[in-house]
Structure 1
Amino acid sequence: MTLPIITADQRLTEVRGVKGVLVGRWGLGKTFQLWTLNPSTTLFVDIEAGDLAVKNWPGDSLRPRTWEECRDIAVLLGGPNPALRDGQPFSQDHYDRARQRYGDPAGLEKYRTIFLDSITVAGRLCLQWCKGQPQAFSDRANKPDMRGAYGLMGQEMVAWLTHIQHTRDKHIWFVGILDQRTDEFNRKFYELQIDGSKTGLELPGIVDEVITLAEITSGDGPPYRAFVCHTANPWGFPAKDRSGRLDLVEPPDLGLLMRKLGAPEAAAPNPPSLH
């Protein structure tokens, strides 16, 4: 038996997907970005039930309503993790049970892009589930222990995000709501709207791209919407570009962004104008 070394030629020819998170404040059109993606190869995972803006979008969708369903979707997309024991989420045992419940996941192979809206609501479903687990109750008095619930939620969310991120051959976009807050020195800062702190802190390290859809004011001109893509930006928005292909500010069009990231097949053939 030899070490399973992957040669440079093999690595360069591998099919890889872009993994990113798109954040922005309410009403800027994050969900509407679905119109810029190829509907025949995009699966809309509608966790938020806020699809009015894309009601007539001609692609397929899933509508998970529980945390268990969110985990089942993740294991069917990414397959089982061989490092996990039976009984653990995303193990071979979990995969087999999800497959028995929903059928052969081969039907998911047609989808090249997964658009999950939103991670904020996924966090709420996760926390609700965590509140009913043994870790969310104190050992002595058996009373609810929110510290235990939030600790479990952080573990669950990071494991879920990481498993989906390891779906190497698919593009994954998580959508999230961005909150503006003020610190003790009255300075503005932005963070992902999600219960607990662990997920928001670790998410940028899990994905390749962190893109903020923002309304920007430049000089004396009118404000305009744009994608902010670099960590070092003058507005303090969360952003990261691991590809090195994006400018500080890009047009607010996810399909165009995917073309620039080297994935033109993900873009809609005739997208609407979002500029």
Structure 2
Amino acid sequence: MALPIITADQRLREKQGVKLVLLGKSGIGKTSQLKTLPEGSTLFVDLEAGDLAVKDWRGDCVRPTTWPEFRDLVVFLAGANPALPADAPFSEAHYRHVCERYGDPAQLAKYDTYFVDSITVLARLALIWAKTQPQAYSERTGK
């Protein structure tokens, strides 16, 4: 097997992107920034289930309601991490399982941007899920 060298032309043709987080007090217009994005190529990941600030935005959206649903969505959108073992979230096996459920990832080709709202709700979903895991209980303290 030859060394997998990526040529400059191949590297320059790769799709590039920016990961950005908007932070600020409630009500200053973070969610409203969705209205500045193209409706045809942006997927709105609506964790707040129908935010009023963007009710007139006419783009596509998905509404995961639990941490595992969000985690499945992320691996579907971003693909597998080949460095992870098969039983780990975001592994190749996890990705294949999610593709069986959601269908062909080619359906995502139209999206250049994923807009997730809100990080506060996402943190709450992750904490709720974490509290249900066996590792969250201490046999020593009973807490």
Q: TM above 0.5, one fold?
A: yes
AA aligned opposite 2:31: T
Q: 1:121 aligns to what?
A: 121
1:129-163 Cα shifts (integer Å, max 9, x gaps): 0001111011335x23xxxxxxxxxxxxxxxxxxx
The structure with the greater share of residues assigned to helix is 2
Identical residues among aligned pairs (%) = 62
Unpaired runs of at least 5, structure 1: 145-275
1:42: how far off?
Answer: 0.2
AA aligned opposite 1:64: P
d(CA) in 2 for partners of 1:66, 1:95: 18
- TM-score normalised over the length of structure 1: 0.49
d(CA) in 2 for partners of 1:9, 1:102: 33
1:111: how far off?
Answer: 0.7
Q: 1:80 aligns to what?
A: 80
1:57: how far off?
Answer: 0.5
Runs of 4+ in structure 1 over 3 Å off: none
Change (3 A) 1:50 1:27: farther
1:3: how far off?
Answer: 1.7
The structure with the greater share of residues assigned to strand is 1
Mapping for residues 156-171 of structure 1, pairs under 5 Å? none
Q: Which moved more, 1:35-44 or 1:49-58?
A: 49-58
Q: 1:255 aligns to what?
A: none
1:204-244 Cα shifts (integer Å, max 9, x gaps): xxxxxxxxxxxxxxxxxxxxxxxxxxxxxxxxxxxxxxxxx
Unpaired runs of at least 5, structure 2: none
Q: 1:97 aligns to what?
A: 97
- TM-score normalised over the length of structure 2: 0.92
d(CA) in 2 for partners of 1:22, 1:11: 29
d(CA) in 1 for partners of 2:130, 2:79: 24
Residue 30 of structure 1 pairs with residue 30 of structure 2: yes
Secondary structure of 1:74's aligned partner: helix
Mapping for residues 184-195 of structure 1, pairs under 5 Å? none
